[in-house]
Structure 1
Amino acid sequence: MANVNVKRVKSSEIEFKDRLVSIQRVTKVTKGGRTFSFSAIVVVGNENGVVGYGLGKAKEVTSAIAKGVDDAKKNLVKVPVLKGTIPHEQLGKFGGALVFIKPATPGTGVIAGGAMRAVLES
């Protein structure tokens, strides 16, 4: 499936809110022992149709989150929003994952959990 309607957005002059989707401690095992680091997945958005995601890796949690936010601001896309919802149903597939998003009536709110809630609220 080709995304022909995805529009890239520049991050200058837009106020973003960031949400942490997940953070993990990862380990690299070497001959000299274990080296611990952190990876963070972050979603940023302006709550009006511009959203981006990023992955940050560092030795400390705060550095990983900051790198994730910077990476997310480089990967922004514009999602069409009409009256607080998407205009029509969307179906996406990547690997074994299948994502189906459909528009909601006014006043319903976001009915999703986990990472999808973070993306849709951003």
Structure 2
Amino acid sequence: MALAELDVVVLDCPDPRALAEFYAGVLGGTITEETDWIDLDLPGGRKLAFQASPGYVPPRWPSADGSQQFHLDLAVEDLDVAEKGVLELGATPLDTEDRSRSFRVYADPAGHPFCLCAC
């Protein structure tokens, strides 16, 4: 028997609205805004949330002393098409040189690492 059920993944950031709009552009969904907190209701019933964090410092990737803690893996049909889209939305490439791999690593506009993964 489980003790809990995962409700939502929350990303701390300096501007919750801007980051919610970035991920809405990548994943679709509907934004619901509260004070210093924004939910992104995703297709299929899942949810991401974004919380204002004064003094936010983005993770450094890769870095042993400023590790990423965790990242999102996003499944995509076409890596090249998805890459073009996330870059247009404001993502920064972190590890995209090896085009033979089935994944590429980016940072969202607040600096959180995420991967586009071929499905």
Q: Same fold (TM over 0.5)?
A: no
Q: Whose Rg is larger?
A: 1
TM-score of the pair, normalised by structure 2 = 0.30
**Larger helix proportion, structure 1 or 2?**
2
**Larger strand proportion, structure 1 or 2?**
1
TM-score of the pair, normalised by structure 1 = 0.30
